[in-house]
Amino acid sequence: MKKPKISVIGVGYVGLCTAVAFASKGYTVTASDVDAEKAAKINQGIPPFHEPALQEKLKATIQNGNLKCLANRTEQAVSETDLTFVAVGTPSKPDGSIDLQYIEAASHDIGKALQQKNAYHLTIIKSTVIPGTTQNTVKPILEKESKKKCGADFGLCMNPEFLRQGSAFQDTMHADRIVIGAHDKKSGDTLENVYKDFYSTHTTPIIRTTLSTAELIKYASNAMLATKISFINTIANVCEKIPSADVKTVATAMGLDKRIGPLFLDAGLDYGGSCFPKDVKALISCSKTFGYYPELLEAVENVNKTQPLKAVQLCKQQLGNLKGKSIAILGLAFKPNTDDMREARVTPIIHQLLKEGANVTAYDPAAIPTAKTIFNNKIQYANSTIECLKNADCCIIVTEWDEFKKLKPED
């Protein structure tokens, strides 16, 4: 099969990993992003975020000419290619619903480019959007701008991503499943053939379904994982009240049950990041618009809100009044192997510690530059674990970086 030329709109975690993955497999890829500085960095082989294994592949695909990144030139990227992945952000609004302005803007630009094209072109939405968005928002914009008919003149698919930050590139290269929501058979067949070529060396399950089902699969998957995290943290809170009850043993035994499995059963400060909090809120909001009140998801979110502050409560149990006390924070990113602090559990912890009058010193292998944009000079920043722990009255380990796992009590 002749490899189609690919464009990717938006080069955040999903977009850049998608672009580099296809380019590394020999596809010609043109990316575009509204951020000119980000595009320039990518063209120099420098990813704009910390993600293991990505920089080496990015540099190689830029050097061999398989990948280039344009600055805010969506129409050009579409005009030069055969299919387009849309991976722009869908941030939360204050009420929990998602902001579709970037999806809409990309759709307008793609539609304008389609008007000038004679050949069939497939548009694939990878951004996380609520059920009905691809059909009721993206499709009408594409048809209006292009003056063409979806399903006849151009194709449309919804293809959610299931990447984990910290292993996003590897997850792209070795996906455990591919979900294709197709507007019509030709659209679905076109994208399925691309993925069969991409994953030609190993079998990756491909699920074919409707646009709305594909959209919901992403939300349901993330909500389920968030539920497991909030559940085990609820059990941890119960264990604290029961003499000699150990949540780690409870979780290990639960995880051996094949119906449950061991993943996402590590009790701690609950979930953060760019996906779980946003997606749970969006699913709650979406459910309510369809007339259903999702009590379980509301409970999951409530646990997530309250769990981080339990770390501060434990400090107070040990130290009493925290005013003037030195508290060491190990880990700032919402998870290891990333510098992302969006919805990081450490943020409410630090804010509460500062409110209590504590002196906070923090260390993270990757996220200190990000933290400085959030906390400025309100806290101190250490250059190593040992420096962070020096003269500390108490330590809170927030992020499970490997180097923190090696710490001993005497450290």
- Planar angle of CA 264, 265, 266, nearest 5 degrees: 95
* C-alpha distance from residue 59 to each of 9, 20, 66, 144 (Å): 19, 9, 11, 38
CB 184 within 8 A of CB 208: no
Selecting among 17, 275, 315, 395, the annotated active-site residue is 275
69 a catalytic residue: no
Kindly tell me the burial class for residue 402, based on how many C-beta atoms sit within 10 Å of its own C-beta (0-12, 13-18, 19 or more).
exposed
Radius of gyration of the chain (CA): 23
CB 42 within 8 A of CB 31: yes
Q: Which of 205, 148, 206, 147 is nearest to 180 (CA)?
A: 206
Termini Cα distance of the chain: 58
Give one DSSP letter per residue of 282-351, joined into a string.
HHHHHHHHTT---HHHHHHHHHHHHTTHHHHHHHHHHHS--TT-EEEEE--SSSTT----TT-THHHHHH
Full strand arrangement of the beta sheet holding 83-86 = 67-71, 29-33, 6-9, 83-86, 122-125, 155-158, 178-182, 206-209
> Cα–Cα distance between 156 and 86 in angstroms, integer?
11
Q: Which residues are identified as catalytic?
A: 275
